[in-house]
Chains A and B, each alone.
Chain A
Amino acid sequence: MQRFAGRSVVVIVALVLGGAAAGLARASVDEIKGALLQPSALPAILGPITDLGRNGWDCAPERAAQAKSAGHAELPSDPGR
């Protein structure tokens, strides 16, 4: 998800290099939006649970699934954080 698809890169580089400077802004930004501004990565699957781990709902995957804070939800780390 985070990585560009090779085809997208080729398309956009061609657009950028082929576009006249004056017409570049409006001509290619829409293409960039569609092809390159990809959403962030999917989170990793929540981990396994033991046979007794969900008694009382006190287990890490269940807590992470219900957490309201991103920091406790086992989401992808912020780049550069």
Chain B
Amino acid sequence: MAPGRAGLALLALGAALLGAVAGARAQAYPDVRPVPKTTDPAALRATATAREIHERFHIGLAAMTRSDWPAAQAEFARVLDLHPPEPMGSTAHYDLGIVDVNQHDYTAARTEFAAAIKLDDGFIAARANLVTVELKAGDLPAARKSAAELLARAPGSARGLYLDGLAALQAGDAASAARAFGTMLSHDPSYATAHYDLALAEIQLGRMDEAERELQAALTLAPAYERARFALGTVLLKTGRRDEARTAFEQVARSAQDPELQSLAASMKDALSH
């Protein structure tokens, strides 16, 4: 073969290869979901189960949206009977726990949130709901333990700190409550409610100056926070400033929306006027 003809042959081969590559690109098809083609009974059953889980979740959530709790409960219970894989299993327990809370069955709700956590240790929303339900049920030791476990996995969680602080306050552990609300406020000092709760802890600890400072902060952030103003009145009374206390109670009596708070503040104001 003459050298010129060999060169031409190589060029032709290269062109053919390039054409083939270009052709392959031009013929790229969009992804198509493979249609499951199997006659294996186990595989068919698994496909049907996965679909049923998905559909029952959908129906259960729709029932929750319209507050049809018994219907939602039946759907999530059926999902759990199907032994769904994670994260669907823990999520089904979590959703069922919410249904139980709305039916005021706190014992069942605790069981479901605990089951969700057992399946997924890092499920923080389930941990937060568990603490809330334990507080609703009045089980302070359990609530405090669950709050501590939540915060160990999500340090700085505002909800975790808030629940931890409330549990400590209700248990009479003012020092722990002050730590929780103080940490919470170090992350976000704009939440007036946490200033109020911190003030309650400071009152329990006998630190009236700190309590007054927190209540003033709460009222600066939320000037219509009459419960904080009432608490401020008690601090002022405790520190011997009767005139200022009377002024605070007078304002609560004038502005509070809660008729009981309003009535009590009026009584306090009248008693201090004598």
Chain A contact residues: over half helix, strand or loop, or mixed?
A: loop
- Residue contact A21 to B272, C-beta cutoff 8 Å: yes
- Residue contact B234 to A37, C-beta cutoff 8 Å: yes
Q: How far is the CA of A70 from the CA of B218 in the complex (A)?
A: 14
| Known interface pairs A68-B156, A73-B157; 7 further A-B residue pairs with C-beta atoms within 8 A, sorted by A's residue number | A3-B258, A12-B267, A24-B271, A45-B98, A50-B58, A75-B158, A78-B222
Q: How far is the CA of A9 from the CA of B274 in the complex (A)?
A: 21
Query: Which residues in A have some Cβ–Cβ distance to B below 8 Å?
Result: 2-4, 6, 9, 12-13, 16-17, 19, 21, 24-26, 29, 32-33, 36-37, 39-40, 42-43, 45-55, 59, 61-62, 64-76, 78-81
- Residue contact B238 to A39, C-beta cutoff 8 Å: no
Contact partner of B188 (CB less than 8 A), chosen from A33, A49, A59, A70, is: A70
B237 neighbours in A (Cβ, 8 Å): 24-25, 29
Q: Is B193 part of the binding interface, using a Cβ–Cβ cutoff of 8 Å?
A: yes
Q: How far is the CA of A76 from the CA of B197 in the complex (A)?
A: 12
Which of chain B's residues has its CB closest to A32's CB?
B234
- Residue contact B95 to A48, C-beta cutoff 8 Å: yes
Q: How far is the CA of A70 from the CA of B197 in the complex (A)?
A: 14
- Residue contact A16 to B268, C-beta cutoff 8 Å: yes
- Residue contact A69 to B125, C-beta cutoff 8 Å: no
B264 neighbours in A (Cβ, 8 Å): 4, 9, 12-13, 16, 36
- Residue contact A68 to B98, C-beta cutoff 8 Å: no
A4 neighbours in B (Cβ, 8 Å): 258, 260-261, 264
- Residue contact B156 to A75, C-beta cutoff 8 Å: no
- Residue contact A51 to B54, C-beta cutoff 8 Å: yes
Which of chain B's residues has its CB closest to A57's CB?
B122
- Residue contact A61 to B125, C-beta cutoff 8 Å: yes
A21 neighbours in B (Cβ, 8 Å): 271-272, 274
Q: How far is the CA of A53 from the CA of B88 in the complex (A)?
A: 9
B95 neighbours in A (Cβ, 8 Å): 48-49
A12 neighbours in B (Cβ, 8 Å): 264, 267
